[in-house]
Amino acid sequence: MSPASFTRLALDEIAQVLDGMALPALLAASEAATLAGFGPLVTYSRKVFIPLTELCRDVCHYCTFAKTPKRVGRAYLALDQVLAIARAGEAAGCREALFTLGDKPELRFAEAGAELADMGHATTLEYLREAAALVLAETGLLPHLNPGLMDDADYAALRPVSPSMGLMLETTASRLSDKGGPHHGSPDKLPSARIAAIAAAGRARVPFTTGLLIGIGETRRERVEALLAIRDLHAEYGHIQEVIIQNFCPKPGTKMAGHPEVPLEEHLWTIAAARMILGSEMSIQAPPNLRPDELVALIRAGVNDWGGVSPVTPDHVNPEAPWPHLDALAETTARAGRIMRERSAIGPAYAQEPETWLDPALRTAVRRMVDGRGLPVVDGWHPGTDTAVPEFEPHPGGAVSQDIAAILAEVDRGACLSERQIVRLFEADGADAAAVMLQADRLRQQVKGDEVTYVINRNINYTNICLYKCGFCAFSKGGTRDLRGPAYNLDLAEVARRAAEAWSRGATEVCLQGGIHPHYDGNTYLSVLAAVKAAAPDIHIHAFSPLEISHGAQTLGLSLREYLLQLQAAGLSTLPGTAAEILDDEVRDIICADKVNTAEWLDVMRTAHGIGLRSTATIMFGHVDGYRHWARHLIRIRDLQAETGGFTEFVPLPFVHMEAPIWRKGLARSGPSHREAILMHSIARLVFHGLIDNIQASWVKLGADGAAQALRAGVNDLGGVLMDESITRAAGGQNGQCFDVAMMETVASAAQRTARQRTTLYGVIEQYENA
C-alpha cells in the first residue's frame, strides 16, 4: 500500500482501509513513503516565539494561552518588547520569528480596541503588520504569522512582511462547536470558516502551515475527513508547506483538564494516515516537546519535521512542555537513523520558487539565505571568501540510505546514472554525503593514483570590455567607464610581453580569454595567437572560450570548423571549457540570455574535438540553478565525451557572489554551500567514471583548505598557478592571484598526497623551474 493508492478512494473507503491495516504495517508503509520523499532529513526551524497579544475573542476549552485583560496588563507587546525578543533570537542564531496571537481580540475586549487606537491602529492585524515589518527590517529573522482567520485583503496586506503564515484546521467536525464541545463559543473555530481562510491563503500564494489537533473528541473518520480537506486545498492551490499532527495535552485550569490524553498509538496512526493521504512529498510535523520520550516512534510513523524549536523563548501555547535542547534533539533524531537539519520559516520547496511564492520585498532575503535545496546555509562559508571552511569529516557514523547505496552500486557496475539518480546524489547529506565522497575518492585512487597534479601557467585576460550582459560576471565592463575598476584592452605587445615573461618564469601554458570587445573579430584572435607564438614559441596556448570561437567565426563568415582549423594552424593548442555556466537553457535564459545557448556551446566543443583540439569542461553553479540543472549539465558533458573523447578534465566553478551583478540585484543565491561545492566534485567523478579521468578543484574558489578537502572527495588535480587570476578577484574573491608550487605541495600534503607538475594535456614534466 502506497500513498498513490489512496488518491482514488473516497472518505469512507480510506477510513476503512486505514482502520483495517495493522498498525505496524501502516507505520512501515508511512515510513517508506517518508524516506522516498525526504530521504533521511528531518528538519526544524530555529525560532523565537513572539506572543504579540494573549487576548482572544475565542474561548477554546483546552487553551491556556488566551487570557483576559485583567491577567495580562497591556493588551499587546510594545514594539520595543517585540524587537528585544527578536534580537535575542538573532543573537542565539535563530532565523524565524513566530508571531502567535489571539484572534481579533478587539472584537471582544474594549481594552484591546483602545490600546490599538492609542498606537494608531484600527485592528490587531494592522499592528501585526507594523511589528512584523520592524522585525524584518531590524533583524535577519523571517516572520511567520499565526493571527487566526484572515481573508484575501488581510493576506495581501501581510504578505510583504511575512514569507509564510499558518492556521491550524484542527478538525472538520463542526459538532465540536456545539454546546458542550471544546469549540463552543469560539466563532473562529468553525471548520467552514477555517477552510475558507486556508483557501484565501492559497489564492494569495502564501506558503502555509496547517494541521490537526487530535484527541479533543473527534473520531478517526473525522480526522481522515480533515486530512482530505487539506489534501483538496493543496491540490487546488499548492500552498500547504507542512501539516502538523498535534496531540491534545490536558492543562490544569481549563474545562478539559480532566479529558484524557490521546494515546501514543492514536497519534502514530494519525501521522501515518496523514502521510498516506497527503503523499510522500508533504512535510509532516509533530511538536517534539509534546512527546519528548517518543520521538523515534514519531519519526518511524512518518514525521520529517520538528517544527519550530526555540533556544530563547518558551512554547507559550504549551508552557508546561519545555523545548528539547537542540543537541539532544539531533542525537535522538540520529538514533532513528536520520539527520536533523535547520530550515527557515518558509518550506524548502517554496524557498526554491521565490518568484511564485514570495512578495518581491522578501525574495532577496530568502534567496541569499538558502542552498539549492531551499535550506539555510548555516556554516557561514561562501566560495571565494577567506572564511574558514567548515570541518570536514569524510567518515561520519550512521547508516547509508538504501537508495544512495543502490546508486553507488550502479556506479560500480558501470551504469550511466539518470537525471533523477544524480539529483538524489546532490541531496545527499551526513552519512550519505560521506559515502558519495568516499566512493569518489576510491575511484580517483583507482584511476589516477595518489599524485596531485598541477600546471604552471599564466592567465592573460586581454580585455574586460564586453558586449554581453551575463548576470554573474563582475569582470566584464560594458564600455570604457569605471565600474568596479577601470575597463581595459591590452595591446598585442603587452599580451606578448606577458607570455614571454610567463615562459621565463617557468610556465608551460598561457590561458588566454577575454570579453567580447565591440571591435574584436575573428582576426583579433588570430593576431593574439601570432603575438604569443612569436614571443614564446614553445608555450602551450590554451585559449578562447566557445563564445569567443563562435564570435570569431561569425564575424569572418566562416563555419566553426573552418575557423577552428585557422586557429589551430596559428598555434591554438587546446580550449578552455568556460562559458558553459549551466548547460540548460532554462538557466541560461536568466543568467546569460544573449550568450551562446546549450546546443551552440556543445557544437563548438564537438567541432573542436573533431579536428583534434582537446578542451576542458566546466560548470559554474550555485546561483539561480537547481540540482536538476546540475544533473542535466553533467549528463550533457558525459554524452559528448562518450561521442568525442575530447575533454581532458572537468572543473567545477562555484559561483562567487559578492560583486556579481545578479546577486547585487537580489536575484541569485550566495553561491553553493560547502556541502554542495564538495559534492559537485565527487558526483562528477562518479558520473564521468571511465570517460573523464581528471577532476579539478579551483583553489581560487575553494581556498587552500577547501581544495585540500576536495582532494579527499574525488579530486586529483589543482589546476594552474595562474599568476594573474583576475576574473574571480573581480567578483570579490579573496584567495589571491597566484598559487605557487610550494602552496600546491602544501595543499597536496594536507590530503596526505604528493604534488607533481604536469603539462596541459597531463603529460609528465620531470624537471621544472620553480615559478
Q: DSSP string of 325-372?
A: PHHHHHHHHHHTT-EEEEE-SS-HHHHT-HHHHS-HHHHHHHHHHB-T
Structure confidence at residue 737 (pLDDT)? 55
* Nearest-angstrom CA–CA distance, 596 and 589: 10
Structure confidence at residue 659 (pLDDT)? 86
Q: Can you give the pTM of this predicted structure?
A: 0.93
Q: Quick check: 273 and 5 in contact, CB under 8 A?
A: no
Using N-to-C axis directions, what is the helix angle for 419-426 and 402-412, rounded to 10°? 120
Nearest residue to 243 via CA among 203, 222, 271: 271
Residue 103's alpha-carbon distances to 66, 83, 126, 601, 630, in angstroms, are: 9, 22, 13, 58, 46
Q: pLDDT below 70 — which residues of the chain?
A: 392-397, 475-485, 722, 724-738, 766-771
Residue-by-residue DSSP string for 452-497: EEEE-EEEEE-B-B-S---TT-SS-BSSSS-SSS---B--HHHHHH
57: which DSSP letter? Answer: S
Strands 614-621 and 457-461: unpaired
Structure confidence at residue 481 (pLDDT)? 41
Span 134-167, pLDDT tens digits: 999 999 999 999 999 999 999 999 999 999 999 9
Cell digits of residue 763: 603529460
Length of the chain counted residue by residue: 771
Cell digits of residue 645: 573523447
Structure confidence at residue 725 (pLDDT)? 47
* Nearest-angstrom CA–CA distance, 401 and 241: 25
Span 236-277, pLDDT tens digits: 999 999 999 999 999 999 999 999 999 999 999 999 999 999
Structure confidence at residue 482 (pLDDT)? 42
Q: Own/partner pairs for 606-610, CB < 8 Å, 24+ apart?
A: 606/640, 606/643, 606/644, 607/560, 607/561, 607/564, 608/549, 608/564, 608/575, 608/646, 609/640, 609/644, 609/645, 609/646, 609/647, 610/561, 610/644
Cell digits of residue 721: 598557478
Structure confidence at residue 470 (pLDDT)? 83
Cell digits of residue 65: 494561552
Cell digits of residue 101: 496571537
* Nearest-angstrom CA–CA distance, 295 and 287: 9
Structure confidence at residue 139 (pLDDT)? 97
Q: What is the 3-state secondary structure (H, E, C) of 492-527?
A: HHHHHHHHHHHHHCCCCEEEEECCCCCCCCHHHHHH
Nearest residue to 563 via CA among 506, 613, 617: 613
Q: Quick check: 733 and 384 in contact, CB under 8 A?
A: yes
* Nearest-angstrom CA–CA distance, 463 and 457: 18
* Nearest-angstrom CA–CA distance, 361 and 364: 7
Secondary structure class of 764 (helix, strand, coil): strand
Residue 337's alpha-carbon distances to 39, 306, 359, 392, 600, in angstroms, are: 10, 15, 37, 20, 46
407: which DSSP letter? Answer: H
List of residues 6+ apart from 140 with CB closer than 8 A:
90, 95, 365
The residue to which cell 472584537 is assigned: 107
Secondary structure class of 214 (helix, strand, coil): strand
